[in-house]
Amino acid sequence: MDIIEHGRWAAYVPQTIHPLAPPNALYWRQEETGEDWYAYSRRVWNILGGVDASGTVKLVLDAAGTVLLANRDASRLMPPVGRVIELAGAGVEEPPLGATLVDGRFIGKAGESPSAPLVVPREISDRQFFQGLALKGLITEEEAISAVSTGALPAAFETLIGQLSAADRFTARMLPSGATSFLRTNPLVDTLGAMLGMSPGAIDELWRFCGGL
């Protein structure tokens, strides 16, 4: 299951309004790029005939990560004011309105168990990754700081990479030393995790932990 970020959205009034637009029409744009919601949603989800058939879950969250709106049809996600994210993957359920996204998990209003499955972030930053490894005791704090600031690999990484085939070592060194973010779906993540004795579920848990830092 992946969390896909679609930025923050706010209401606005376009400089030029289509002459056929109704007088009470409302408009929203992405704060980062200024792209209009109508154009963005149709470009990203290929909405045809006013219907989004992608099947993924779209959510609007407030600044605290609380779910304000949830719908599988982006054209019905109105108004998309706040942070918009998408939950993609097989068997993904809509979290309840009012639930809050905390450390990759949707928590109910009164702290009940979440009704939706645990969500694994699709991508985490290098800072989150190495900080999480240090907090879990897999590398030292000094190694984490050095990895983020200079790209130096922790000793444990060098040991693991040394066990790979010669053809894979260069790529394996380039990923952690040069990347500014890490994708959960990168095959090297599972390869190195397995060498540490971590199951895919344990790696998912590490990703959720790091994503909350």
Reported pTM: 0.54
Kindly report, residue by residue over 80-131, the tens digit of the pLDDT: 999 999 998 766 788 888 888 877 778 765 445 444 455 677 788 899 999 9
Distance CA 135, CA 117 (A): 25
Per-residue pLDDT averaged across 49-60, rounded?
A: 88
Contacts of residue 163, Cβ cutoff 8 Å, sequence gap at least 6: 195
Query: Is 116 inside a domain boundary?
Result: no
Model confidence at 44, pLDDT cuts 50, 70, 90, reads very high
Query: Is 112 inside a domain boundary?
Result: no
Domain that holds residue 158: 123-211
What stretches of 115-165 show up as alpha helix (H) in DSSP?
A: 126-135, 141-150, 155-162
Distance CA 106, CA 66 (A): 9
13 and 69 share one domain: yes
Between CA 118 and CA 122, with CA 128 as vertex, the angle to 5 degrees is 40
- What is the number of structural domains in the chain? 2
| Tokens at 134, concatenated | 């240090």
11 and 98 share one domain: yes
**Taken in order 93, 99, 105, 111, is the CA torsion positive or negative?**
negative
92 and 16 share one domain: yes
Q: Are 71 and 52 in contact (CB under 8 A)?
A: no
Write out the E strands in 76-146.
82-88, 100-102, 105-107, 123-125
Q: Are 2 and 122 in contact (CB under 8 A)?
A: yes
Average pLDDT, the chain: 85
88 and 175 share one domain: no
77 and 128 share one domain: no
Query: Is 81 inside a domain boundary?
Result: yes
Kindly report, residue by residue over 4-43, the tens digit of the pLDDT: 999 999 999 998 887 877 888 889 999 999 999 989 999 9
93 and 180 share one domain: no
Distance CA 202, CA 168 (A): 23
86 and 129 share one domain: no
Distance CA 84, CA 10 (A): 11
